Amino acid sequence: MSPVLVATTPDDTAVPLGPTLSIFDPVYIGIDEFGHPVTVPLIYRNLLIGGEPGSGKSALLNAVVAHAALSLDCRLCLLDAKRVELGQWRRCADAFVGPSLPDALALLSRLQIMMDRRYDYLEECERRKVVPDDRYITPYLIALDEFAYYSATVGKKAQREEFSELLRDLVARGRAAGIIVVAATQRPSSDIIPTSLRDLFAWRFAGRCTTDSSSDIVLGHGKAQQGWTANTISPTNPGAGLLIAEGGTPQLVKVAYLDDATCAAIARYAATLRNTVASKPQPRVAA
Ligand SMILES: Nc1ncnc2c1ncn2[C@@H]1O[C@H](COP(=O)(O)OP(=O)(O)OP(=O)(O)O)[C@@H](O)[C@H]1O
């Protein structure tokens, strides 16, 4: 039987805590058009989320981050230029970057170093990837809301390019080292999501897009012609979108929505869990 986790309140009362999740579990993200639950495995994968403003990208991001926050075998790094979309999870995260490109660069550089060291370790142990209950490697979820802010909006050109290169490297090489990137943008255009970057994301979600071509930029070339376009999703149906995950065929999904109060409650609970249960002896990425 797994041990009962107990938290201590300020007046020293022991409060039993419920079970936790694992980042190796499939992540519940919503329902399909028949009302069936939709889950996606995220370990060893990355997820790209695109769609017009208000299409429900942050809602999906929050559903994924909620699962990761409740997974004590996962650490979090959050980048959110608006600060309020992912801000409620701040106390669960090793690092939280707001609207600062230098901070974003510093964080991604450190993650890149950590990734390289993890591969040194895996090579030394003659292993290929992180596994459940890994003694020394804890998976990291890197969640970015509106990554175009860092890759195309602020700072100098060289800094933006450095950001894009670092992000691309983490997406391309991070999976076996337990680094999961979930990145959202409201600008599904070819300059923000070039094909070479898009194709590195095994899982993709397109919320409502204003054109067939912007939907294709998220889902893949030719999908609109095959009848899969997020342009047909009603603007009055936020959270609905086309998901490409296992199987490769797009699937219509309505994302589970966590309102502010629910998010805050889950985040508080997850932070309590994280403070209560000793984490693995591994240096933190954040300063
Ligand atoms: N799954 C959902 N079910 C019901 N309502 C939703 C859902 N997802 C989003 N909404 C509603 O749509 C609003 C906008 O959602 P959200 O902030 O996730 O969009 P967004 O695409 O991230 O927007 P932006 O690009 O401006 O950040 C939410 O405040 C909420 O009212």
pLDDT in tens, 118-146: 999 999 999 999 999 888 899 999 999 99
Q: Which of 22, 48, 78 is nearest to 207 (CA)?
A: 48
Say whether 55 counts as a known binding-site residue.
Answer: yes
- Ligand 1 binding pocket includes 258 (Cβ within 6 Å): no
> What is the Cα–Cα distance from 54 to 257, expressed in whole angstroms?
13
Q: What is the pLDDT of residue 11?
A: 65
Catalogue all structural domains in the chain, each as residue range(s) with its CATH number.
42-276 (3.40.50.300)
Output the residue whose Cα is nearest ligand 1's atom 9: 56
Q: What is the ipTM of this complex?
A: 0.95
- Ligand 1 binding pocket includes 186 (Cβ within 6 Å): yes
> What is the Cα–Cα distance from 168 to 178, expressed in whole angstroms?
15
Q: What is the pLDDT of residue 287?
A: 38
Our CA angle for 213, 215, 220, nearest 5°, is 90
- Ligand 1 binding pocket includes 239 (Cβ within 6 Å): yes
Output the residue whose Cα is nearest ligand 1's atom 5: 238
Say whether 239 counts as a known binding-site residue.
Answer: no
Q: What pLDDT digit, counting tens, does each position of 167-226 carry?
A: 999 999 999 999 999 999 998 888 888 888 888 999 999 999 999 999 999 999 999 999
pLDDT above 90 coverage of the chain, percent: 79
Quote the pTM value.
0.90
Q: What is the pLDDT of residue 8?
A: 66
| SS3 state at 185 | strand
Q: What is the pLDDT of residue 195?
A: 85
From residue 254, alpha-carbon distances to 56, 57, 93, 172, 251 in Å are 9, 11, 27, 28, 10
Output the residue whose Cα is nearest ligand 1's atom 11: 238
Which tokens hold the place of 82?
A: 């608006």
Whether 115 and 49 have beta carbons less than 8 Å apart is answered as no
Q: What pLDDT digit, counting tens, does each position of 236-271 carry?
A: 999 999 999 987 899 999 999 999 999 999 999 899
Q: What is the pLDDT of residue 188?
A: 86
